[in-house]
Structure 1
Amino acid sequence: MKERAEKMKVTDEIIYVGVNDHDIDLFEGQYIVPNGMAYNSYVIRDEKIAVMDTVDEAFGEEWLENVKNALDGAKPEYLIIQHMEPDHSANIEKFMEVYPDTKIVGNAKTFTMISNFFRNLDLEGKKVVVKNQEKLELGKHILTFVFAPMVHWPEVMVTYDSTDKVLFSADGFGKFGALDVEEDWDCEARRYYFGIVGKYGVQVQNLLKAASALEIEKICPLHGPVLSENLEHYLGQYQTWSSYGVESEGVMIAYTSVYGNTKKAAELLGEKLKEKGCPKVVVCDLAREDMAEAVEDAFRYGKLVLATITYNGDIFPFMRTFIEHLKERNYQNRTIGLIENGSWASTAGKVIAGMLEKSKNITMLEKPVKIMSSLSEENLKELDEMAEELMK
């Protein structure tokens, strides 16, 4: 099912021409998107008309129809490419077939990628290669291009319209979910950020610093809704996420269990934390939870408990995958407790400590809980002590 996004005006001269995708099951081949995805594109109408980005290949005809309706008989002067991932750039060639006199605006890295994606596309005389902070005048609207390398590809740039005070933010401030579905922004934007952009906190911080000098009234991302109210909240969330700060006070307990004994320990610790007044406790079975949701929670809260078994002299595969996801995204500035279970040679705690030894600013609780097959009276006492320590 392919549904058309509701036609809307962002401002009097900026028109939304994106599409909704409800065919997709996995975004980027790995992220579950039960509410689909939005691929956003915009038309800026002025003396010279600019189209901002394209959409996924499967929606080319629908997008071109949206563009045609927004142009209302006029011809575009520019197609501005902020990001070359195919869910945004796949229809460049189709667009140029329909509007052959259009000039494509991008940076040097953009055009290198265009030549790699579109081997037979001849852009002789149709390239406008811009530099960082360079301006483009459309008439009333003056656009400034701000390079954002590795947020999250090297060619990425964002565009600021100083006339309407609109920031076209590329993948920044995006979220999972189509625009015809109502859902909380924070949850799906957080999962999107840490899943896709999370590794590049330093680069996002650089972009936020550049954006802080701009007067922004609206943010137009390439995924998710146009943001026009409470911008301080969205900017604040990105500040927290990109600096690897703690968003919410609480404890996440992530566990893997085969016969239920490690699960029992994880759930008992969760109960003890709640009894002691912990503001939020999240208990997650890594074998059954969406891994992207688990990663999101690990970054959201300031304290994490990893509970797993020794498995083939290592740790259970879902726990290893989870920790590798955290490491890949530069997990840092957190307190971690360990619960390890081993029926004979217990090595889980040692393996986990080794995996995290190069992570920045990780505080490991001094006393892990070591279970031998099933919970002992001593383990019950240790879990209570761990809960006390986590509450400090």
Structure 2
Amino acid sequence: MYTRYERNPVYIIQAVNNKTEMNVSGSKRTRYMECITMKITEDIIYVGVNDHDVDLFEGQYIVPNGMAYNSYVIRDEKIAVMDTVDGRFAEEWLANIEKALDGATPDYLIVQHMEPDHAANIQVFAEKYPSAQIVGNAKTFTMMKNFFHGLELDGKTVEVKNGETLNLGKHELTFVFAPMVHWPEVMVTYDSSDKVLFSADGFGKFGALDVEEDWDCEARRYYIGIVGKYGAQVQNLLKAAATLDIQIICPLHGPVLTENLGHYIEKYNIWSSYGVESEGVMIAYASVYGNTKKAAELLAKKLQEKGCPKVVVCDLAREDMAEAVEDAFRYGKLVLASVTYNADVFPFMKIFIEHLTERNYQKRTLGLIENGSWAPTAARVMTGMFEKSKDITWLEHSVKIMSSLSEENEKELDAMAEELCK
């Protein structure tokens, strides 16, 4: 067994709540409007929001502890607002900005990422602060026109190129392009005065900021699910970041990171290079009548008896698929156990493998357990699904079950366990 939750030092933002009424699906309920401001440094203020209404982030990821949409204000001779928030929280966000500005007027809105959970309120901001200029790159403004057809941008934009700077006074901002991390227009921003990296979606995690939870697990699930395909691009960004003196990381999701930054950067380096984070074996199974499940559980028992450091058993039909994918990337060895279904593999197994391969699953050792009552094909199909994956090592020993476990199958599981524990 292993524990998913381990502590790391992060900022937990305390919110001041003002009650507001809202209508949801025709019924009235109460939501607490969070007026959140927090000083990150003397001049940088957090003005983001927490979302406890969302059930599925990006329409697919379960977020039991909600989400945070982060935005920041940099106060200087000129004032910059870093990104907006989800469209459902415009009122809260604007209230946070007003509190942070304390009567001043912003000069810039810097748009690092055009995804609607961060950019939905660009037009709302432009209407409230018509004198402010919007800062982005060429791809940013192309997307902006597609999202906001009625937004008049003439004379209100500052287009920046990779490596260019924007001077606010004592704060000089440098823009570093990060294409496909995880959209093509993404850029991050470095403040050389306070040594802060505004990292866009990088170093983000699931979960609202008024809930204390482990960073590693929810950041890993977030990264693998959303950014995992783009490891090479993240590696390029990490190389650029390595040239900067970074003391604080301000992401667009999740807590502001202020301590032990090497830990977070190391995790990102492992994840984006598809390295093995933890030694252990994951057994993912798809079973109909329980015989394939028995094989998976028996293998796990044999591995534990042989002293395998970590053994994770996952029922693909019942566990959150994003967590299953996360674990497959975390550990160095993966055993796939599936029944044959319509001369193919069971649907949950097929979906699982597709999630892995579309995220460039590689540098792993794989083993196969198949089950079939008359014509087993699962092993052949599963092998074929990884034909384009790099650096996959297949176990010499596999298991072929005909309906239910036999004595021969138990010997095959012994041999597989022995090979996995080498």
The TM-score by the shorter chain falls in which range?
A: over 0.9
In the alignment, which residue of structure 1 is the partner of 2:17?
none
**1:253-294 C-alpha deviation (Å, 9 max, x unpaired):** 000000000000000000110110111000000000000000
Q: Which runs of 5+ in 1 are unaligned?
A: none
Moved over 3 A (4+): none
In the alignment, which residue of structure 1 is the partner of 2:386?
356
In the alignment, which residue of structure 2 is the partner of 1:79?
109
In the alignment, which residue of structure 2 is the partner of 1:327?
357
In the alignment, which residue of structure 2 is the partner of 1:366?
396
Q: How does 1:309-348 map to 2 (within 5 A)?
A: 309-348=339-378
In the alignment, which residue of structure 2 is the partner of 1:240?
270
Out of 28, 45, 64, the position equivalent to 1:34 is 64
In the alignment, which residue of structure 2 is the partner of 1:282?
312
In the alignment, which residue of structure 1 is the partner of 2:148?
118
Give, in whole Å, the separation in 2 of the partners of 1:92 and 1:162.
Answer: 26
Give, in whole Å, the separation in 2 of the partners of 1:340 and 1:357.
Answer: 18
Asked if structure 2 preserves the Cα contact closer than 8 Å seen for 1:36 and 1:176, the reply is yes
Q: Which amino acid aligns with 2:168?
A: L
In the alignment, which residue of structure 2 is the partner of 1:44?
74
Distance 1:2 1:286, change over 3 A: farther
Q: Which amino acid aligns with 1:391?
A: C
Asked if structure 2 preserves the Cα contact closer than 8 Å seen for 1:5 and 1:180, the reply is no
Tell me by how many angstroms 1:367 deviates.
2.2
Give, in whole Å, the separation in 2 of the partners of 1:48 and 1:123.
Answer: 20
> What TM-score do you get using the length of structure 2 for normalisation?
0.92
In the alignment, which residue of structure 1 is the partner of 2:289?
259
1:13 matched to 2:43? The reply is yes
SS in 2 for 1:139: coil
Distance 1:155 1:2, change over 3 A: farther
In the alignment, which residue of structure 1 is the partner of 2:21?
none
More displaced, 299-308 or 360-369?
360-369
Give, in whole Å, the separation in 1 of the partners of 2:80 and 2:354.
Answer: 42
Give, in whole Å, the separation in 1 of the partners of 2:256 and 2:135.
Answer: 22
Tell me by how many angstroms 1:5 deviates.
6.2
SS in 1 for 2:283: strand
Asked if structure 2 preserves the Cα contact closer than 8 Å seen for 1:5 and 1:20, the reply is no
Q: How does 1:195-214 map to 2 (within 5 A)?
A: 195-214=225-244
SS in 2 for 1:351: helix
SS in 1 for 2:41: coil
Give, in whole Å, the separation in 2 of the partners of 1:127 and 1:96.
Answer: 11
Asked if structure 1 preserves the Cα contact closer than 8 Å seen for 2:35 and 2:95, the reply is no
SS in 2 for 1:307: strand
SS in 1 for 2:280: strand
Give, in whole Å, the separation in 2 of the partners of 1:184 and 1:227.
Answer: 13
Distance 1:5 1:366, change over 3 A: farther
In the alignment, which residue of structure 1 is the partner of 2:26?
none
Give, in whole Å, the separation in 2 of the partners of 1:3 and 1:123.
Answer: 31
Give, in whole Å, the separation in 1 of the partners of 2:248 and 2:228.
Answer: 23
Q: Which amino acid aligns with 1:264?
A: K
Q: How does 1:212-223 map to 2 (within 5 A)?
A: 212-223=242-253
CA RMSD of aligned residues (A): 0.7
Q: Which runs of 5+ in 2 are unaligned?
A: 1-30
Give, in whole Å, the separation in 2 of the partners of 1:244 and 1:134.
Answer: 31
Asked if structure 1 preserves the Cα contact closer than 8 Å seen for 2:190 and 2:196, the reply is yes
Tell me by how many angstroms 1:358 deviates.
1.1
1:146 matched to 2:176? The reply is yes
Tell me by how many angstroms 1:334 deviates.
0.1
Out of 101, 114, 119, the position equivalent to 1:89 is 119
Q: Which amino acid aligns with 1:84?
A: M
In the alignment, which residue of structure 1 is the partner of 2:301?
271
1:24 matched to 2:54? The reply is yes
Asked if structure 2 preserves the Cα contact closer than 8 Å seen for 1:48 and 1:138, the reply is yes
In the alignment, which residue of structure 1 is the partner of 2:216?
186
More displaced, 4-13 or 30-39?
4-13
Asked if structure 1 preserves the Cα contact closer than 8 Å seen for 2:163 and 2:174, the reply is yes
Tell me by how many angstroms 1:3 deviates.
4.9
Q: Which amino acid aligns with 1:159?
A: T
Q: Which amino acid aligns with 1:235?
A: I
Give, in whole Å, the separation in 1 of the partners of 2:362 and 2:32.
Answer: 40
**1:11-60 C-alpha deviation (Å, 9 max, x unpaired):** 00000000000000000000000000000000000000000000000000
Tell me by how many angstroms 1:2 deviates.
4.7
Tell me by how many angstroms 1:6 deviates.
4.0
SS in 2 for 1:4: strand
Percent of pairs identical after alignment? 79
In the alignment, which residue of structure 2 is the partner of 1:57?
87
In the alignment, which residue of structure 1 is the partner of 2:10?
none
